[in-house]
């Protein structure tokens, strides 16, 4: 082994100020020479820190002092702190390996977001009592009432009474039936719309009732809103938006602590627009519920079709466009086709029974 000289900074382990020193290695003998130091050590008594990329390395001296220097192959001749550092160091210097690792982490995080989070949100939502949700829904309606987003309905009491009666009929036997409230409201902002608030409150606008040709048309939309409530879509949506709360409460099994994360009207208002998956789920729920009450899903298809046709022309009503049923429950050719399909099946089953 030949002599090696490294000119670096020496810390004596007592005074936190470095001083220039030279470490000389000759076989088993190490000398440390500097303006403030002159020492000799047995090479076996020192320990060299692991190689971490291109970071500075440390030589621990037996007297508690430390010698810092840039990485140098000569340091490999001295005893190492971690015998296995070779592989880690090799890994750390290979950017493609780091790149693949990073891509893997991104893929895992993405799949947690896409696949795990919705399932976690569904389970956590099931543990939140309906009463907790109810306060959120009532606050939202109160806020909309006091800010005149919603105003008194002008629909005659007979029609309201008839719809309330049929709505109550449809709730019979549903797990959350006692929590439902149906509110009639007029709105300059919401257009033809129906909104399922957390906790069982459904608000339906005058414009939507006026768009309907029959009570069954309105009930078809209400059945869809019931689907959103029974499937806890509002809370699941909010939970998915506050992923950390979901993970935390799933881990601690403490649904009550979610209150803090879930409360907040702005979040709630933005959550009125549901995902395509939730819309499809609510549609399927509605078709099944309507079948039980012998209402053809054709009514739903007709209402959707009318809403598409009634969509405000560009610039005519930007608010209506932003807030209407179209935006909060985006219709699509897909959904209309599925409604027609369900209607065909419904009519076939009616034909068989008669
Ligand atoms: Zn919807």
203 has which bridge partners? 183, 195
Confidence of residue 258 (pLDDT cuts 50, 70, 90): low
Q: What is the distance in A from the centroid of ligand 1 to the CA of 233?
A: 9
How far apart, in whole angstroms, are the C-alpha atoms of residue 79 and residue 44? 6
Q: What is the CA(116)–ligand 1 centre distance, in A?
A: 23
61 pLDDT higher than 60: yes
* % of the chain beyond a pLDDT of 70: 77
The residue that leads in pLDDT, 22 or 89, is 22
- Ligand 1 centroid, distance to 201 Cα (angstroms): 14
Residue 268 has pLDDT above 80, yes or no: no
CATH class of 4-92: mainly beta
DSSP conformation class of 193: -
Query: If you measure from the C-alpha of residue 44 to the centroid of ligand 1, how many angstroms do you get, rounded to a whole number?
Result: 74
CB atoms within 5 A of ion ligand 1 belong to 279, 282, 329
Instruction: Give the start-to-end residue ranges of the domains of the chain.
Output: 4-92, 107-353
> Does the structure show a pLDDT above 60 at 266?
no
pLDDT digits (tens, 9 = 90+) for 93-113: 777 777 888 788 777 777 776
Going from the Cα of 225 to the center of ligand 1, the distance in angstroms, rounded, reads 6
CA of 228 to the centre of ligand 1 (A): 7
Question: How far is the centre of ligand 1, averaged over its atoms, from the C-alpha of 324 (Å)?
Answer: 11
Distances (CA, A) of 250 to 165, 226, 243, 253: 40, 27, 11, 5
| pTM, 2 dp | 0.61
Closest CA to 80 of 42, 41, 44: 44
Measure 106 CA to ligand 1 centroid, in angstroms: 31
């Amino acid at each position: 082994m030949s002599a090696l000289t490294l000119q670096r900074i020496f810390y004596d382990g007592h005074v936190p100020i470095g001083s220039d020193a030279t470490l000389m290695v000759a076989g088993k003998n190490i000398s440390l020479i500097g303006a403030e130091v002159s020492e000799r050590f047995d090479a076996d008594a020192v320990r060299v820190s692991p190689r971490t990329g291109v970071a500075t390395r440390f030589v621990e001296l037996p007297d508690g002092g430390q010698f810092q220097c840039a990485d140098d192959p000569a340091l490999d001749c001295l005893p190492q702190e971690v015998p296995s550092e070779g592989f880690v160091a090799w890994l750390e210097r290979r950017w493609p390996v780091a790149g693949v690792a990073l891509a893997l982490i991104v893929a895992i995080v993405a799949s947690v977001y896409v696949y795990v989070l919705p399932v976690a949100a569904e389970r956590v939502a099931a543990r939140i009592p309906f009463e907790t949700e109810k306060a959120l829904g009532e606050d939202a309606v109160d806020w909309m009432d006091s800010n005149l987003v919603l105003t008194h309905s002008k629909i005659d009491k007979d029609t309201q009474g008839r719809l309330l009666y049929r709505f109550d009929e449809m709730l019979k036997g549903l797990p959350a039936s006692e929590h439902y409230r149906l509110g009639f409201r007029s709105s300059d902002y919401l257009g033809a719309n129906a909104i399922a608030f957390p906790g069982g409150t459904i608000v339906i606008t005058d414009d939507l009732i006026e768009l309907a040709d029959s009570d069954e048309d309105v009930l078809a939309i209400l059945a869809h809103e019931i689907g959103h409530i029974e499937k806890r879509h509002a809370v699941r949506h909010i939970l998915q938006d506050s992923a950390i709360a979901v993970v935390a409460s799933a881990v601690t099994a403490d649904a009550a602590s979610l209150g803090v994360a879930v409360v907040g009207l702005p979040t709630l208002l933005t959550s009125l627009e549901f995902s395509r998956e939730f819309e499809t789920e609510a549609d399927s729920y509605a078709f099944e519920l309507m079948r039980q009450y012998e209402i053809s899903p054709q009514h739903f298809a007709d209402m959707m079709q009318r809403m598409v046709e009634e969509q405000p022309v560009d610039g005519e009503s930007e608010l209506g466009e932003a807030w209407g049923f179209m935006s909060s429950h985006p219709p699509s050719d897909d959904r209309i086709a599925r409604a027609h399909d369900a209607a065909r099946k419904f009519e076939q089953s009616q034909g068989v029974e008669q």
